[in-house]
Structure 1
Amino acid sequence: MEWILFDKDGTLIYFDRSWMKIGLQLVDDFMDEYRENINDVDRAYRQLGVIDGEIQPGTIMASGALDEMIKAFCEIAGQDVTQWAQRRSQTLVDQRVPENILVEGITDTLDTLKKDGYRLGIVTSDSKVGVEQFLEATQLEHYFDVVISTEADAVEKPNAEVLNPLFHHYDVAPQDVMIVGDTANDIQTGVNAHLGLSVAVLTGVGLEEEFTKADYVFETANEIIKIIK
């Protein structure tokens, strides 16, 4: 391995509950906006993975990409709600107050990897502003050689093109890259991009049984030291 790419939320930091608040607000706003088109609101909430006011692990609102969420919204509303959902989602993201609680030991792990000569990156579904807030709050910026965020209308994980900023700017083969993340989408990104290793961690929203395509499943990202050593 030459490069190790980390997801941010649920991997470097414990999953940011502010994302759950955004997800819940987006679903509530969707229900209000298209209530006349929704025959069974309770069923619609369950379909999206919201039960008793909580987003359930392993559901589309917990770990799905935005386009997957929008597809579900369109099916429930019986019409194309893409533009509304994209605008409302972006507004909520821009307004969120992030939480940045580092996974214990992750700074030591990044330090070890950097000293051992690995090049490190972040690939996240968060926006550029969100990543900048994270790096400023945690003071981890100096560890990362590339930071890939998701802006409006950009490709998202698990689309392999999300890694173009890495492969277009650095001379590295996919088989020399490892991705580490907490969702099935992170692992599928590794599969789609033909990366050398895809490692799942259990510090986020993904369930262990979802990670059938992962090469390894660890409690935390710190354990990648084991397979590298």
Structure 2
Amino acid sequence: MKWILFDKDGTIIYFDCSWMKIGLKLVDDFMETYEHSIEDKSAAYAHLGVVDGEILPGTIMASGALDEMVQAFCDIANQDVTDWAQRRSQTLVDNRVPENVLVEGITESLETLQQQGYKLGIVTSDSKKGVEQFLEVTDFAHFFDVVISTEANAVEKPNPEVLNPLFEQYDVAPEDVAIVGDTANDIQTGVNAKLGLKVAVMTGVGLKDEFTKADYIVETANDIVSILDK
């Protein structure tokens, strides 16, 4: 391996609860905006993974990509709500207050990987604004050679094109790249892009039985150090 790509939320930091707040707000706004088109609100909430005011792990709203959420909204409303959902989601993301709680030991692990000569990157569904805030608060910018964020209407994980900024900027083969993340979408990105190593971590919203395509399932991103040492 030459490159290690990390997801951010749920991998480098513990899953940011502000994302759950955004998800709940988006669902509530959807239910209110399209209430006349929704036949059964309780069933709609359950389908999206919202039960008793909480988002359940492994559901669409917990770990699905935005396009999966939008498609679910369209199905529930029996109409195309794509424009509304994308605009409302972006507004909520732009106005969120992030929570950055580092996974214990991650600073030392990043330092070790960097000293060992690995190139490091971030590939996240967060916006550029959110990533910049994270890098400023943590003072982690010096660790990462490439940072890939997701803006409105851009491709998202697990579409392999999300990694184009890496492959267009650097001469590296996919088999020399590892990806570390907390959701099935992170792992599927590695599959779709034919990356050489896919490592799932249990510090986020993903469930262990979702990681059938991972090469390793570990407790935290720190374990990538010992995996590479093998």
The secondary structure found in structure 2 opposite 1:199 is strand
Following TM superposition, by how much is the alpha carbon of 1:226 offset from its aligned partner in structure 2, in angstroms?
1.2
**Partner Cα distance (1:95, 1:162) in 2:** 24
Which residue of 1 is the match for residue 40 of structure 2? 40
**Partner Cα distance (1:135, 1:150) in 2:** 16
Which residue of 1 is the match for residue 180 of structure 2? 180
| 1:56 partner letter | L
- Identity among equivalent positions (%) equals 76
Which residue of 2 is the match for residue 119 of structure 1? 119
The secondary structure found in structure 2 opposite 1:168 is helix
Which residue of 1 is the match for residue 147 of structure 2? 147
**Partner Cα distance (2:70, 2:16) in 1:** 21
Which residue of 1 is the match for residue 58 of structure 2? 58
Tell me the number of residue pairs that the alignment of Structure 1 and Structure 2 aligns: 229
Following TM superposition, by how much is the alpha carbon of 1:225 offset from its aligned partner in structure 2, in angstroms?
1.1
Which residue of 1 is the match for residue 205 of structure 2? 205
Which residue of 2 is the match for residue 214 of structure 1? 214
**Partner Cα distance (2:9, 2:123) in 1:** 10
The secondary structure found in structure 1 opposite 2:97 is coil
Question: What pairs with 1:81-92 in structure 2 (closer than 5 Å)?
Answer: 81-92=81-92
| 1:64 partner letter | G
Following TM superposition, by how much is the alpha carbon of 1:105 offset from its aligned partner in structure 2, in angstroms?
0.1
**Partner Cα distance (2:197, 2:87) in 1:** 35
| 1:150 partner letter | T
1:50-88 Cα offsets, whole Å, 9 max, x none, are: 000000000000000000000000000000000000000
| 1:9 partner letter | D
**Partner Cα distance (2:178, 2:106) in 1:** 16
Which residue of 1 is the match for residue 163 of structure 2? 163
1:7-65 Cα offsets, whole Å, 9 max, x none, are: 00000000000000000000000000000000100000000000000000000000000
Following TM superposition, by how much is the alpha carbon of 1:227 offset from its aligned partner in structure 2, in angstroms?
1.2
**Partner Cα distance (1:43, 1:60) in 2:** 14
1:30 aligns with 2:6: no
**Partner Cα distance (1:159, 1:128) in 2:** 18
Deviation beyond 4 Å, 4+ runs, structure 1: none
1:89-110 Cα offsets, whole Å, 9 max, x none, are: 0000011000000000000000
The secondary structure found in structure 1 opposite 2:169 is coil
**TM-score, normalised by the number of residues in structure 2:** 0.99
**Partner Cα distance (2:99, 2:227) in 1:** 30
**TM-score, normalised by the number of residues in structure 1:** 1.00
Which residue of 2 is the match for residue 137 of structure 1? 137
| 1:22 partner letter | I
Q: Which residues of structure 2 form unaligned runs of 5+?
A: none
